[in-house]
Amino acid sequence: MSLVSRLNSLCTTRTPSLAPRASLVLATLLCLAPLSFAQQKNDIDAVKKRAELNSAKADLEEARKKRDMAVAARWKDREAANQERELFNERYQESKEKVDALMSERARLFEDVRVAREDLAQIKQQAETARSEFLSLAVGPERLETLAKFQEQGVPFKLPERTEAMNKVKKEMGLYRDDPLRIARSVFAVAQSELNFTREVRYEKAELLFGTAVAEGDRMRIGGLYAMQMASVMDINGYHPSALMLPVAGEKNRTYSWQENLGTDVKGQVAKAFAATADSAYVMAPVDVLLSTELSSEIASHQEKSWKEDLVQFFKDGGILMYPIVAILVLGVLIVLWRLVVLLILSFGGMSARRALKALAAGDVDEARKQAKTARGAVGKVLRTALLKNYPSRASAEKGLEELFAGEVPKIEKALSWISVFAATAPLLGLLGTVMGMIELFDVITMHGTSDPKLLAGGISIALVTTEAGLIVAIPLQLLHTFLVNRADALRGRMEKAGLAVLNAIWIRER
């Protein structure tokens, strides 16, 4: 058993043999001894604990300081982060505004580029159109073909030079297609040279060939169309041997040769022409303008016909069907004139009819009756029938007007249908003539073929002339029929208007 436990047991056990005071002191000492020892131990533990607590407090305070420092640093970092965030937001907002401005500028630039591209495309299209139009102005080889015909139709003088000039222009047409102005100038130059050549007169003395004989004489060329030559010496008949450049028969005016078989009058004219070249600026050349003696003879024998002769010839060319077509025309014109005169008479009512209608419009029936007595025409008859007869009621007056219209309207429209029938019949007769002409034409072709055009002319003339005549008759008759029908409808409308005016004026007033 330890000392402390013994002391504790002693302190707790009373000793009755000692004096109370001593025992009390002793007991107190004995009791306090373990207490002080325990107290001392407790104090040591308390000191240790206090030291540990102080150490923990110090650690806690240090931790608090570290925490405060960490919190302060954290707040400082957060403040710096906030400042950086605000600065970033400001820079971001500025950058966003700049980006928005750049996007707006980009969109505007894209729109400008699009508009510019559209304008450029339109300008390119206009330029291409203008270029196409400009290039279309360039003349083609067909223009030179027109000029080349003069070489074929005229006397073959200066053919190499003229052909070379045209070939040069054709080559320029292929090389300078983008320069129509240059091509046009070249074509105009060739045309001008051809024109000058046609006006050129060439007179010279040379050795001339007449058949197999050679003789000195004069030669004259007038452009590329006419040429003549004449020997200086006379033949046994007293004429100078002469020749004209004319086309060879059967070669369609493309091959020319000297024609020496000339009449005495032509030889005399050739001599006069050469004599006039010495002292006159005006020379009459006895050369056929059309380069064909056959055509010149036909022109010389041609006689101008009057319009009456042309009409008679037209009638004869049409054949037998021209008689009914002309009869239809005459009958149609007579009916048109007759009905036109009738409609004019019926349409004229005079001033009395107008005054009567004005009085009815004003409600003055008595004045209308007075004026209706002298009214003329179809409208006047309507006014007299409706105003001068005492009808008991409106229905009876309407029946009276219906009877009047039933008698007058057929008179107004009389024979108008015949004009329409004539207008429809005339082209049918022309068509019949066409069929007859074609039948005759096929019969001629069957018998004689198509080698002789004169045999085909009869059928062709009937086929075409009768159709033309039928249309010439039908068109004006149809127009005149429409005109007369419109006049008749207008007159009937005026009659109905006058009748309604009378009925409304009388029976509405009585009501």
pLDDT greater than 80 at residue 343? yes
How high is the pLDDT of residue 326?
Answer: 92
Provide the 8-state DSSP code for 291: S
Which pLDDT does position 419 carry in this prediction?
92
Helix (H) or strand (E) segment spanning residue 333: helix 322-347
User: Among 105-109, 488-492, 505-509, whose mean pLDDT is lowest?
Assistant: 505-509
Please check the confidence at residue 365 and state whether its pLDDT lies above 60: yes
Most confident of 310-324, 342-356, 379-393: 310-324
Backbone angles phi, psi at 222, to 5 degrees: -110, 95
Helix axes 322-347, 416-448, angle to 10 degrees: 170
Q: pLDDT digits over 372-431, tens only? A: 787 788 888 888 887 777 777 888 888 888 888 888 888 888 888 999 999 999 999 988
Q: Is the pLDDT higher at 240 or at 291?
A: 240
For residue 486, the model assigns a pLDDT of 92
CA dihedral angle for residue 196, residue 201, residue 204, residue 206, rounded to 10 degrees: 80
**pLDDT over threshold 90, residue 500:** no
Q: In whole angstroms, give the CA distance from residue 190 to residue 249.
A: 31
What count of other Cβ atoms lies within 10 Å of the Cβ of residue 443?
A: 11
Task: Phi first, then psi: give them for residue 499, nearest 5 degrees.
Answer: -60, -45
What tens digit of pLDDT does each residue of 469-481 get? Answer: 999 999 999 999 9
Q: What is the pLDDT of residue 331?
A: 94
Angle between helices 322-347 and 394-412 (to 10 degrees): 150
Structure tokens at 470: 């039928």
Confidence at 298, pLDDT banded by 50, 70, 90: very low
pLDDT, tens digit (0-9, with 9 covering 90-100), for 7-28:
445 444 444 444 456 566 666 6
Nearest to 440 by CA among 311, 327, 317, 310: 317
pLDDT, tens digit, 9 for 90 and up, residues 179-209: 777 887 888 888 888 777 777 777 788 888 8
133-142, 347-356, 498-507: lowest mean pLDDT where? 133-142
Give the rounded distance of the alpha carbon of 262 from its chain centre.
62
A 10 A CB-CB count for 424 gives: 13
Mean pLDDT of 448-459: 59
| 310 has pLDDT over 70 | yes
Q: Share the mean pLDDT of the chain.
A: 77
Q: Is the pLDDT of residue 101 over 60?
A: yes
pTM: 0.43
pLDDT tens digits, one per residue of 108-145: 998 999 999 998 888 988 888 887 776 666 666 766 77
Distance of alpha carbon 338 from alpha carbon 509, whole angstroms: 42
At 221-255, the pLDDT tens digits run 777 666 788 888 887 777 788 887 776 654 444 46
Longest dimension (CA), the chain: 226
Which pLDDT tens digit goes with each residue over 33-83?
555 666 777 778 777 887 877 888 888 888 888 888 888 888 888 888 888
Helix (H) / strand (E) containing 210: strand 201-210
pLDDT of residue 22: 59
pLDDT of residue 478: 93
Q: pLDDT higher for 280 or 164?
A: 164
DSSP class of 375: -
Q: Please answer whether residues 226 and 292 qualify as being in contact, where contact means their C-beta atoms are separated by less than 8 angstroms.
A: no
DSSP category for residue 154:
S
Q: What is the DSSP letter of 452?
A: -
